[in-house]
């Protein structure tokens, strides 16, 4: 397959020749670390405003990169549906609901439940697209749902606390939103490169988020500090923009199965980094849930490889 790396990255890659695995490893580490980073920000910024700042700064960074490389242009009409799908569900809804949920639950648990997406993709393809699952996929769905049941059981959370119940429910809605986008993208015929659409998708998410934040949470009221600015710079331009570039560029040179397997490391890193950086409790319920989710996606991935 021809190298699809953008002009700004291609000369660097030619000199340094960084393997795909290194880029992907860096991506999942940054994504995993973004969960405790967002939890820290929530102590100083309300969730909808944090989501707004995340995508406005990330979008601005990508607009600048594309403009510098002469690739900035309006989205093609054929890509408007997927622009609205990714911007509205994967970015706006997923992030806003996830940040609201993290006010009621730990960052590690949030990362785990948000990354149950592969299970909902398999289940959605079966129920709505009439894609009959194989025996291995059926086993994977069952294993994944078992992991969700364990994490959300009375052993894993306090069912007498409505805020905790709401937080966990919102995280499962987040995962379902992302699953809908994956199913849509699977059947979309791209007119433009996904990277060229990314800043427009982020703008599509940021503008309604800003309006909702102002209406629900009031004007942005933040006590700015170097620590907070650093966290926002990491969450937006680094963990969102930079990681999207890696996902879009490297993802075109490897199989979707490989990419799915790589992202399994994100909730593990999120859980471990939240325990180390935030002092969150690492209990057996989260470990079992993570194990079930990992087993589910690996089972499905191996079945796809042998199909």
pLDDT for res 10: 46
User: Greatest CA span in the chain, whole angstroms?
Assistant: 58
CB count within 10 Å of CB 36 equals 27
**Phi, psi angle pair for 78, to nearest 5°:** -65, -20
18-77 tens-digit pLDDT: 787 889 889 999 999 999 999 999 999 999 999 999 999 999 999 999 999 999 999 999
pLDDT for res 211: 97
pLDDT for res 9: 45
Question: Pick the residue with more confidence: 187 or 301?
Answer: 187
Q: What is the pTM of this model?
A: 0.86
Question: Pick the residue with more confidence: 180 or 133?
Answer: 180
Measured distance CA(301)–CA(307) in Å, rounded: 10
């Amino acid at each position: 397959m021809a190298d699809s790396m953008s002009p700004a990255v291609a000369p660097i890659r030619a000199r340094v020749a960084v393997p795909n695995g290194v880029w992907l490893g860096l991506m999942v580490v940054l994504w995993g670390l973004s969960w405790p980073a967002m939890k820290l920000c929530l102590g100083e910024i309300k969730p909808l405003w944090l989501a707004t700042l995340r995508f406005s700064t990330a979008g601005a960074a990508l607009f600048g990169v594309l403009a510098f490389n002469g690739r900035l242009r309006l989205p093609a009409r054929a890509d408007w549906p997927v622009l609205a799908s990714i911007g509205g569900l994967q970015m706006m809804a997923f992030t806003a609901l996830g940040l609201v949920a993290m006010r009621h639950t730990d960052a590690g648990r949030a990362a785990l439940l948000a990354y149950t997406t592969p299970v909902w993709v398999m289940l959605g393809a079966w129920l709505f697209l009439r894609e009959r699952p194989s025996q291995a996929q059926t086993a994977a769905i069952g294993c994944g749902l078992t992991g969700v049941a364990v994490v959300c059981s009375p052993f894993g959370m306090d069912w007498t606390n409505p805020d905790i119940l709401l937080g966990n429910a919102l995280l499962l809605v987040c995962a379902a939103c992302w699953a809908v986008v994956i199913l849509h993208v699977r059947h979309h015929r791209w007119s433009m490169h996904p990277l060229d659409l990314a800043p427009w998708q982020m703008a599509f998410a940021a503008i309604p988020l800003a309006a909702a934040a102002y209406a629900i949470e009031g004007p942005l009221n933040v006590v700015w500090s170097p620590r907070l600015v650093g966290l926002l710079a990491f969450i937006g331009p680094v963990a969102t923009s930079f990681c999207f570039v890696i996902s879009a560029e490297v993802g075109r040179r490897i199989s979707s199965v490989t990419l799915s397997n790589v992202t399994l490391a994100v909730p593990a890193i999120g859980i471990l980094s939240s325990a180390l950086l935030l002092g969150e409790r690492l209990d057996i319920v989260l470990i079992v849930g993570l194990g079930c989710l990992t087993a589910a996606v690996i089972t499905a991935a191996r079945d796809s490889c042998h199909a």
